[in-house]
Amino acid sequence: MTINELVGSVGLKPLSTFEDRDISGVFVSDMVSDVMAGAKSGNLWLTIQTHKSVIPAANLVDVSAVIITGGKEIPQETVELASKYSIAVLSSELPTFELVGKLYELGLGK
């Protein structure tokens, strides 16, 4: 599954400009250091963190996309930095737990 296919499947809102990529799994954490230590290239990163520090971490690990859950407002500086590095920042109104369930149903957690 690609990022653009996922956007339509679960109703995500794209916020940054990015190139479509394949998704290889899901990583859930709100700690940037945890993501740098445990996420894999191609993962979706689900978080409630919206500060611009998530972008360098996402870039370092090479995640496919960062999904901000819970309908959190994302600062424009975060979106602009993500666009600069072509990192997909997507927004979901769903709480993290519910979104994880939907992603699992799509086969991303297996």
Two structure tokens written together for 105: 């149903």
Q: What angle do CA 86, 27, 88 make, to 5 degrees?
A: 15
pLDDT value at residue 49: 97
pLDDT tens, position by position, 25-82: 999 999 999 999 999 999 999 999 999 999 999 999 999 999 999 999 999 999 999 9
Contacts 24+ apart (CB under 8 A), 23-30: 23/64, 23/65, 23/108, 24/64, 25/108, 25/109, 26/100, 26/103, 26/108, 26/109, 27/63, 28/96, 28/100
Could you tell me the pTM of the whole model? 0.96
Which CATH entry fits the domain spanning 3-105: 3.40.50.300, 3.30.499.10, 3.40.1390.20, 3.40.1190.20? Answer: 3.40.1390.20
| Cα 82 to Cα 11, 15, 100, 108, 110, distances in angstroms | 20, 9, 23, 23, 28
DSSP 3-state of 25: strand
The mean pLDDT value for 79-94 works out to 98
> What's the pLDDT band for 109 if we cut at 50, 70, 90?
confident
Residue 29 has what pLDDT? 97
Give me the DSSP letters along 40-63: -TTEEEEES--STTHHHHHHHHT-
Domain ranges for the chain, please list them: 3-105
What is the predicted pLDDT for the residue at 110? 57
Q: What is the pLDDT of residue 84?
A: 97
